[in-house]
Structure 1
Amino acid sequence: MRSPMFRIALLAAALAAPGVAHAQSAEQPPVERKLVDGFEGRDFAPEGGLYYRENFEQSAGTYEFQDAVKRTGKGGLKLSIVPHCPATDDGCSERAEIWEKTELRVPYDKGVWYGFAIKFADPIPSGDHRYLIAQWKREIDAGADGDFSPFLAFRMNFGKLFVTVETNYLPPVSTGPENAAARCAAGEVPVWVRPEVNQMRMLVATDGTWKAEDGALFNSCTNAITVTSHGNPLPDPKSGWIDFAVFTKPGPDGSGHIEIFANGQPIVTVKGRIGHADKGLGANQYFKFGPYRAADTTDWTLYYDDFRRSPRCADVLTGSVCPFS
């Protein structure tokens, strides 16, 4: 017969087991980790791996855990920016972005699923200006030469949503004065080329109100990527909560792959040259979301909810058919 002390030790081991499992999970490679934050409390959830970055441009912004505007659960995250940049600083931006913690970033050559929901507060900016609501970038090593744009960005201009993909400069297939979207041939994508910085920005998705003249900046055509449309435009920013699910796998060598879903509907599949391969770039990709704009004269507020990240589509694209497991 086993002693009472043995039984106590056995019970203690059983109670400790969840903690051991949690510790093993925390030691997983970042790409294997599942991150979730519903913004239910008074701070970022430990299991979400998010934080508000502090710097001068971010000091234009504020973040608030609140319960008045939410998509699910008890709360949501309110992100706001106010005019902040000195009038003499043309390159200044204003941000209220939430970042992934550095130690949780995913290797640049790995694919991962992200999900987040967003609601635009009134008034929704409708001018010709640079606005971003989410972006994915590659790390830049300290001392590297250059400023690299996000390889994937969710943007807004004239009050309309659109998505861009970035890669290193390649000579365009054709160039014209404007409205490349109206004249690019099958298998070509409208692109804004910037050879002086070895980059080019491709237009891959737009909302249902987008017109050809809205894309005048993308005045060339490229076949560096292929974009497969699934017949659904991006939702209108005025439509209420929008839940995005996104698969990102950069591949500057042509192996890149992006999937974009909105409100459970497939929007586009993008494959080909995605991201940058310049000297001095880091080993990881990273995601940040929140209002980000060139300096402006008005306030701007967005609400976010239901952040998730996982290597498994089913953890992010719930209730829908995943394109692959």
Structure 2
Amino acid sequence: MNRRRICALALMLVMAGAPQANAASPTIRDEFDATSVSDNWFSCSRDENSFSFGKLADDARSAATQVVKALPQNNVLAFAWHPKGCAREDGSYDRDGSERSELWEAQKILAPMGTEIWYRFDMFIDDSITPTTGRFVIGQWKQTNSPKDAPVLAQRFNGRAFTVSLEQDNADPDRDPKNVLCRVFIASQETAPVEPGFGTPHTLVKPAQVFSLMKTETLSVGHDTDDLAHGTAPLSLPGLTGCAQGLSVTRYNSLPDPFGKWTTMVYHLRLVSDQTGLIEIWADGKKISKTEGIIGFKPFLAKESQYFKFGSYRNHAEFETVTRLDHFIRSERKEDVDPDGTLAPP
């Protein structure tokens, strides 16, 4: 066999083997132009929410619109975990003490846990959230069958201040044994009470604890009990503080004020619970922060998938909140989410 044929055969073998070695997750784009949701998404229907899609009456764009309404407070928590608080085909769902109006990435498009991946989306957060509002999450990334039922990464709007937090196992040797998680803030609005690098310990509410706790609080199974607004004065916290460990957090800019307007977000993610984890965040074309190190929970389950969901997820509140999602792109290639280099500059 001559050299040319050997080289050609070697190239054919490399090309044939590449898809198996690097199975790419699909690139997803959604402009929400249609009047019904595409099969890229699962709508988490419940009594307190509603969804609409397509052209906005007060805007030139199309979007997915989610509304979460104020319903009478319900402290009845159920322990059936499927389908994680969303309505089944018969309309029933497991009431979990929280209120939500979320779109979830559909199962068929999920990327493997730890995939290096880019997200770009436009979000509209209305003005309803107040400085006294407690737990309010709008946009989070989770792991299927996670060893901890908490988001790996979350956008939080508690107290009308935009922050982004990650979760990791609480490895502080002096921790309270019940505080198994460490929430680390990696990006913040100027008005937020914490700056990037601050880690706060918290407990995971488990079914055995629920009935003793629900007498005084509205809880969400699998989430902490103290996720409340903290005030308005920023803290100066250089470096990592609290329970945060194994991370490097670099701050470039503050998050913008997102209330009552559209904000363009870009995330570059590698969600793994060893030293190779990565989160880069841009907002409205400005680099906000870069985080490297331990992200998520051990054991790292590479066979599992990561999924994004967007929309209001809150404790009971006495007001209606509208959120909107548009120009959604998810890809393993930066050039797909930022073709001209203006949304995610170095």
Calculate the TM-score normalised by the size of structure 2. 0.68
Q: 2:259 aligns with which of 238, 248, 254?
A: 238
Closer/same/farther in 2, CA of residues 287 and 161 from structure 1, 3 Å limit = same
CA shift digits 1:156-206 (9 cap, x unpaired):
01111001011111117xx9xxxxxxxxxxxxxxxxx77526321101110
Alignment length (residue pairs): 267
Q: Structure 1 counterpart of 2:188, which letter?
A: T
Measured in 2, the distance between the counterparts of 1:69 and 1:257 equals: 39
CA contact (8 A) 1:245 1:262 kept: yes
Q: 1:283 aligns with which of 304, 318, 323?
A: 304
Q: 1:64 aligns with which of 30, 52, 58?
A: 52
State the 1:265 CA deviation: 1.1
Closer/same/farther in 2, CA of residues 246 and 83 from structure 1, 3 Å limit = same
Could you tell me which runs of 5 or more consecutive residues in structure 2 were left unpaired when the two chains were aligned. Answer: 1-19, 78-95, 195-229
Measured in 1, the distance between the counterparts of 2:324 and 2:176 equals: 33
The answer to whether structure 1 residue 81 and structure 2 residue 72 are counterparts is: no
Task: Between 90-99 and 282-291, report the one with greater CA deviation.
Answer: 90-99
State the 1:123 CA deviation: 2.7
CA shift digits 1:280-306 (9 cap, x unpaired):
896111111111101222211112211
The answer to whether structure 1 residue 42 and structure 2 residue 35 are counterparts is: yes
Counterpart for residue 200 of structure 1: 182
Measured in 1, the distance between the counterparts of 2:107 and 2:188 equals: 31
CA contact (8 A) 2:148 2:297 kept: no
Measured in 2, the distance between the counterparts of 1:301 and 1:30 equals: 37
Measured in 2, the distance between the counterparts of 1:301 and 1:125 equals: 14
Closer/same/farther in 2, CA of residues 242 and 74 from structure 1, 3 Å limit = closer
Counterpart for residue 337 of structure 2: 316
Measured in 1, the distance between the counterparts of 2:176 and 2:48 equals: 29
Measured in 1, the distance between the counterparts of 2:143 and 2:33 equals: 30
Q: 1:266 aligns with which of 284, 287, 291?
A: 287
Measured in 2, the distance between the counterparts of 1:280 and 1:113 equals: 20
Closer/same/farther in 2, CA of residues 111 and 62 from structure 1, 3 Å limit = same
Could you tell me which runs of 5 or more consecutive residues in structure 1 were left unpaired when the two chains were aligned. Answer: 1-26, 176-192
State the 1:224 CA deviation: 2.1
Measured in 2, the distance between the counterparts of 1:319 and 1:239 equals: 27
CA contact (8 A) 2:183 2:244 kept: no
Counterpart for residue 249 of structure 2: 227
The structure in which a higher percent of residues are helix is 1
Closer/same/farther in 2, CA of residues 204 and 33 from structure 1, 3 Å limit = same
Closer/same/farther in 2, CA of residues 164 and 103 from structure 1, 3 Å limit = same
Closer/same/farther in 2, CA of residues 280 and 89 from structure 1, 3 Å limit = farther
Closer/same/farther in 2, CA of residues 205 and 275 from structure 1, 3 Å limit = same
Counterpart for residue 166 of structure 1: 167
Counterpart for residue 301 of structure 1: 322
Counterpart for residue 157 of structure 1: 158
Closer/same/farther in 2, CA of residues 278 and 61 from structure 1, 3 Å limit = farther
Measured in 1, the distance between the counterparts of 2:114 and 2:65 equals: 32
Measured in 2, the distance between the counterparts of 1:114 and 1:220 equals: 29
Q: 2:42 aligns with which of 35, 39, 51?
A: 51
State the 1:269 CA deviation: 0.6
Identity, % of aligned positions: 26
Counterpart for residue 16 of structure 1: none
